[in-house]
Amino acid sequence: MSNELEAFIEYITVIKALSAKSIEAYRSDLVSIEYHMKVPIIKLDNNSLLTYLSRYENKRTLNRKLSAINAFFDFCYKEEFLDLKQKFQFAKIPKNLPKYLSYETIEHGLSLIDTRTWIGKRDYALILFLYASGMRISECLDMRLENIEGEWLHILHAKGEKERIVPIAKVALDAMNSYLNARPFSNDVIWCNYQKKKLSRISAFKITQKYLAVSPHVLRHSYATSLIRGGADLRVVQELLGHASLLTTQIYTHIQRQDLKDTVEACHPMANT
């Protein structure tokens, strides 16, 4: 390891106080470059570095390497190890549109559940509740009876330590109450396993995977998609989802654009000429 790289590792360890995992990631990425190139990174020109980086076809992996290199060069410039500041542009990664399910697909999945048992009633209610609320799975599993006020849900300890209140459809509340009435024990935690303990994220994943072949988070996307397609304002959806920034919610605008395109293609006389 070069002297400059050792100084950088000491800097992010002592001064920046990064986590052990982050420090190891920086160390691994940068040491591997010096190992393969047989030259200190600070002495490599841009072409040599780009040639080395071209081996990484996965753009996310490439960007992680570039992030480490840029942080190292920024440190070297500030410490006057370099006369000129160097910075590499990150590779562009296409945005993956969120996967979502139609209401009909969710209904079909619900129809497969045997609700004659309390476990079946729980699975049915959980899926319905996730779709009716747009909650993150961690938020849902932390639910307690005291968080429900009429047809409103008070979500506590959400991402970023924020709080929000969302309305819940009566059909979801009825399903939840049916499950709670059938449950052979009492517990302030709503979603429990057969051992009377809070349902785990893995168990929740298995439930949605079993009946819908998706993760619980897809139901959150499905909730947002249904609202947007129904004409909901983007800022209202932002509030309901608990997004800190509207930019996060704007990923759903592809739905609006696609709906507009489909409408034009179906209705405008010049659409198919």
Enzyme catalytic residues: 136, 159, 217, 220, 243, 252
Strand ranges in 57-208 using DSSP code E only, listed in sequence order:
148-149, 152-155, 164-167
Question: In whole angstroms, how far apart are CA 147 and each of 156, 236, 266?
Answer: 8, 21, 45
CB neighbour burial string for 21-45, b if at least 16 within 10 angstroms, e if fewer: eebeebbebbeebbeeeeeebbebe
CB neighbour burial string for 134-158, b if at least 16 within 10 angstroms, e if fewer: bbbbebbbbbeeeebeeeebebeeb
Distance of CA 3 to the CA centre of its chain: 39
Query: Residue 20 is inside which H or E element, if any?
Result: helix 20-37
Strand ranges in 73-163 using DSSP code E only, listed in sequence order:
148-149, 152-155
